[in-house]
Amino acid sequence: MEKICPNCNSDLPNPVACSTCYSLFVPDLRARKAHLINILKDHALVQKYSDKDEESGDETRQLFWRTIEKEYPEIASIESGWLFLELFDELLGTGAIGQAMRDPSMREVRVLGHDQIFAQNMIGKLKTGLAYESPKHLKSSMQKMIAKLGLAETKGAQGKYEYHAPDQYHLTINLAPSESEPEYLKVRSVLA
C-alpha cells in the first residue's frame, strides 16, 4: 500500500520525506540528527571549513553537501534541505539559532537554554523545537559568534555583547543570564 503525504496528497515513494512538498516524516528527528552529527563530526571537511568566514558559507555548504552525496549516499537520499542546513550549522558551531534567523517571518528569537529556543513571528510567540546539542554546545556557539564578529564586552555589563547588523537584526549575547535578563541569546529583527 502506497503512503500519501497528508500535506499535499502526493505519493510518498520515500518513507522519510515527501519529494513534492519536502515535508519530513521522521519518527524521532532529534535522535536522527544526533546520529548524523556523530557520523559527520570528525569528517575532515568539517574540520577544514569550520573556521571559514561568513561570506564563504554558501560555497562551503554546497561543497559539504556534494561530499555527503558522494561519501554518504544513504544520508543524502533521505534528508531534506532544511535538515541539512540545521545539521551543517550544528557541525560548524552556529547551531540552531542560525535556522531561526534565516526565516524572514521571524521578528525575534530568544534562547533561554540549549533546548529552549523561542521565536516570535507576526502571529505570536512559539517554542521552535530547535535545540543546541547541549549547554556546552550553546556556550561554545556563543563564543564563536563573539570571536567571528569581533565583539567587545558592553560597557558596564559583564558577559554581555551586542551587535547591530545594518538593515537586518540586533543581536545580544549574554554569557551570564540573570533573573532580569534570562536570555543567553536574543536576536531582534530591525523590522519588528
Q: DSSP secondary structure string, the chain?
A: ---B-TTT--B-SSSSB-TTT--B--TTHHHHHHHHHHHHTT-HHHHHHTT--GGGHHHHHHHHHHHHHHH-HHHHTT--HHHHHHHHHHHHT--HHHHHHT-TT-SEEEEEETTEEEEE-SS-EEE-----SSHHHHHHHHHHHHHHHT--PPTT-TTEEEEEETTTEEEEEESS--SSS--SEEEEETT-
Question: Which has more confidence, 65 or 91?
Answer: 65
Highest mean pLDDT among 26-30, 61-65, 91-95, 114-118 belongs to 114-118
What local confidence, expressed as pLDDT, does residue 144 receive? Answer: 78
Least confident of 15-24, 49-58, 143-152, 182-191: 15-24
Q: Are 40 and 73 in the same domain?
A: yes
Q: Nearest to residue 57, comparing CAs of 83, 100, 94?
A: 94
83 & 132 share domain: no
Q: What is the CATH number of the domain that holds 142?
A: 3.30.450.370
Q: Tell me the percentage of the chain whose pLDDT exceeds 70.
A: 39
Residues 36 and 70 in one domain: yes
Mean pLDDT, residues 37-55 taken together? 52
- Judge if 166 and 124 occupy the same domain: yes
Are 81 and 142 contained in the same domain? no
Cβ-Cβ contacts under 8 Å for 20 (sequence gap 6 or more): 5, 8, 10
Structure-model confidence comparison of residues 79 and 121, the more confident one: 121
Please indicate, yes or no, whether residues 111 and 185 belong to a single structural domain of this protein: yes
- Is the pLDDT assigned to residue 53 strictly greater than 50? no
Q: In angstroms, how far apart are the furthest CA atoms of the chain?
A: 65
User: What range does the domain containing 74 cover?
Assistant: 1-92
42: phi then psi, degrees, rounded to nearest 5: -95, 10
Counting residues of the chain whose pLDDT is more than 90, the rounded percentage is: 2
Looking at the structure, tell me whether residues 76 and 3 fall in a common domain.
yes
Kindly tell me if the per-residue pLDDT of 75 is higher than 70: no
Do 81 and 116 share a domain, yes or no?
no
Confidence (pLDDT) at 120: 80
Same structural domain, 87 and 113:
no
